[in-house]
Structure 1
Amino acid sequence: MKTKIGLPGFLIAILFLSISLPGCKKERVKFEVTNMVGDGSGKQVVPEISTNASSTFFGVYSKGYYNLFIYTIRFKDLSGPWTKISINGPSSSGQNGPEIHLASSASPSVEGEATGSFNLNSIAGSQLLSGQWYYIILTTTHPEGEVRGQIIKE
């Protein structure tokens, strides 16, 4: 059975591990935490589509020793169950970019939540912080994307 600690609990665990690991040399680790957000709609999909679906994105990027990016995407009113939810980039609004990371969700649905976390290198971190990444939700009805949202600093 999996225990769900949620985003705040996960962040606290990472912070604790980054400050003090038993048996490790005690060094002060410098890191910066940046909140990332984004609202998604069919108007942001390329090409634009008409849909009642919407979504919100919240992520935290911890730049430093781990360069960890943790995120949650909440969505509702999709035309059918999602087929893929991913982070893509680099790309500005109105352009498409390659897939960077697949989000995970319990099972395909028309409403719900997807999450993910992964480590970034310095180039990917710079792209994220400069707003060059977006998330997209694909469905059978809209295989090129039903909802898309640019990821920006809060």
Structure 2
Amino acid sequence: MKCRNAIVRRAVLYATLLLSGVAFACDDDEKDEDLLGSEIEFTNVALSGENEVPAVTTSGSGSMTATYDRSTRMLTYNFSWTLGSTTDNTVGIHLHGPALATESAPVVIPIENHPTSHTGSVTGTTRALTQSEEEQLLDGKWYLNIHSSTYPNGELRGQLLRGEN
């Protein structure tokens, strides 16, 4: 009889633990995001002509790092670039979205007051993003695009993906 009661108690305990685990695993995804902390890193974002849609032929390159603060909904960024030709000019820099790496999208946030020479670097912070923009960014659907006089639709592009790219 003692053995049977012990087996029943263990079965109830295991069932309770199993159901608790299932309930925790199915909890709201936003709570899972909270476990990540308020800052999300985008590091080693490579800027290249190969990333353009369609790809362009250029020896230009660049890199970007960024941090998204979920509490302020602002993206702080730092990037540098060199265009493929020393006689070329930078005519525009924008954050675009929503788009996967194989797609193009409209400008979401223009980067103002950037150098117009063939090389440069920029550090800044965006305005506060909307809920929809935040979801797009965190889903990897934003990219940085550097436009040149040779490639007005974009010479260098890098997709913003969480962590290292």
Question: With structure 2 as the length reference, what TM-score do the two structures score?
Answer: 0.70
Partner residue, 2:122 = 114
- Deviations 1:69-92, CA, capped at 9 Å, x for gaps: 111221014431100000000000
| Cα distance in 2 between the residues matched to 1:78 and 1:109 | 12
Q: Does 1:146 align with 2:141?
A: no
Partner residue, 1:32 = 38
Cα pair distance change 1:106/1:86, threshold 3 Å: closer
Given the alignment, which residue of 61, 64, 68 partners 1:61?
Answer: 68
Shift of 1:34: 0.6
The answer as to whether partners of 1:103 and 1:115 remain within 8 angstroms in 2 is no
Given the alignment, which residue of 109, 122, 146 partners 1:101?
Answer: 109
Give every structure 1 segment of 4 or more consecutive aligned residues whose post-TM-superposition deviation is greater than 2 Å: 104-107
Partner residue, 2:54 = 47
Cα pair distance change 1:59/1:141, threshold 3 Å: same
Partner residue, 1:9 = none
| Cα distance in 1 between the residues matched to 2:150 and 2:101 | 22
Structure 2 unmatched runs, 5+: 1-36
What one-letter code is carried by the residue in structure 1 that aligns with 2:153?
E
Secondary structure at the counterpart of residue 161 of structure 2: strand
Number of residue pairs matched by the alignment = 123
Q: Does 1:73 align with 2:79?
A: yes
Shift of 1:105: 4.1
Shift of 1:149: 0.6
Cα pair distance change 1:136/1:102, threshold 3 Å: same
| Cα distance in 1 between the residues matched to 2:115 and 2:138 | 30
Question: With structure 1 as the length reference, what TM-score do the two structures score?
Answer: 0.75
Given the alignment, which residue of 137, 140, 154 partners 2:146?
Answer: 137
Secondary structure at the counterpart of residue 69 of structure 2: strand
Between Structure 1 and Structure 2, which shows a larger proportion of helix residues? 2
| Cα distance in 1 between the residues matched to 2:95 and 2:134 | 13
- Deviations 1:61-118, CA, capped at 9 Å, x for gaps: 0002x21111122101443110000000000011100101111345301111123322
Task: Please tell me the root mean square deviation across aligned C-alpha atoms, in Å.
Answer: 1.4
Task: From the CA coordinates, give the structure whose radius of gyration is larger.
Answer: 2
